[in-house]
């Protein structure tokens, strides 16, 4: 049997870039749809910003986006990859095969996200308005495909170590944080976004229960500072202690 022909190198060019509520990767939902209040815009780049390229897309409610985890370390060669990763759902301690996970640390740094299509603006190029996106601002998008629920929804499928959505923690706001929200025009949607993001506990997976340390997650143009507070019964609440401009 002859040796197989060598595979060619693959070069991919972004077709667009994401502008979202998440300036940094800390706090980004670990799966799409977990923060439905999160808004994003996919701006198509030339020459893909031709309105003809999205003709008919308005008939679909959801899209698959193939993108690049551009903030993850880039490989220097085929030997520079990690076969094992530590998913947050397993506490950040147990190792599992990279191909049995949805980790951002992948051989080719490719990601796949299911997002809701809210609107299409073709007045100056093409901009797709999205909801429920789990994407950092600046994320390069490589492809768009419409979602077909009859072909791609499989509720009977097994989900391995993540059979259910993560448990959500209660979120509360201090008086100072409430004052900031009351003064903003986007206060209502911002509150919903903060609650959806923090209820998933964006702290490192090995951090459990209450702790004195304060964390900060950047959302839109703000730094949302929060702390994990433990009640007498051991239940944890994430308290927003301050909201300040970045």
Q: What is the pLDDT of residues 107-149, one digit of tens each?
A: 899 999 999 999 999 999 999 999 999 999 999 999 999 999 9
Rounded mean pLDDT of the chain?
92
Burial (CB < 10 A; 0-12, 13-18, 19+), residue 87, is: buried
| Count of alpha carbons within 13 angstroms of residue 134, beta-carbon side | 22
- What is the pTM for the complete model shown? 0.90
Task: Please tell me which of 70-79, 190-199, 207-216 the model is most confident about, judged by mean pLDDT.
Answer: 190-199
Mean pLDDT, residues 77-105:
86
Would the pLDDT of 1 be above 70? Answer: no
**pLDDT for the residue 64:** 98
The Cα–Cα gap between 242 and 173 comes to 8
Q: In terms of pLDDT, which residue wins out, 234 or 146?
A: 146
The Cα–Cα gap between 8 and 223 comes to 45
User: Which has the closest alpha carbon to 28: 132, 149, 127?
Assistant: 132
Mean pLDDT, residues 52-60:
98
On whether the CB atoms of residues 70 and 16 are closer than 8 A, the answer is no
């Amino acid at each position: 049997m002859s040796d197989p022909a060598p595979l060619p190198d693959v070069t991919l060019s972004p077709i667009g870039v994401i502008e979202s509520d998440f300036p940094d990767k800390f706090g980004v939902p670990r799966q799409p749809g977990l923060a439905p209040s999160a808004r994003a815009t996919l701006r198509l780049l030339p020459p893909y910003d031709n309105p003809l390229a999205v003709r008919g897309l308005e008939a679909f409610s959801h899209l698959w986006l193939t993108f690049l985890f551009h903030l993850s370390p880039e490989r220097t060669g085929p030997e520079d990859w990690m076969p094992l990763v530590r998913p947050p759902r397993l506490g950040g301690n147990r190792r599992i095969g990279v191909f049995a996970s949805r980790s951002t640390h992948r051989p080719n740094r490719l990601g796949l996200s299911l997002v809701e299509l809210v609107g299409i603006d073709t007045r100056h190029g093409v901009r797709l308005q999205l909801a429920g996106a789990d994407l950092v601002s600046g994320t390069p998008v490589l492809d768009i495909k419409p979602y077909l629920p009859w072909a791609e929804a499989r509720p009977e499928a097994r989900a391995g170590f993540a059979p259910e959505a993560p448990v959500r923690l209660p979120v509360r706001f201090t008086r100072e944080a409430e004052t900031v929200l009351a003064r903003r025009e986007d206060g209502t949607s911002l509150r919903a976004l903060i609650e959806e993001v923090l209820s998933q506990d964006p702290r490192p997976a090995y951090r459990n229960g209450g702790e004195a340390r304060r964390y900060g997650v950047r959302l839109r143009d703000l730094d949302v500072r929060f702390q994990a507070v433990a009640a007498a019964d051991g239940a944890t609440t994430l308290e927003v202690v301050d909201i300040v401009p970045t």
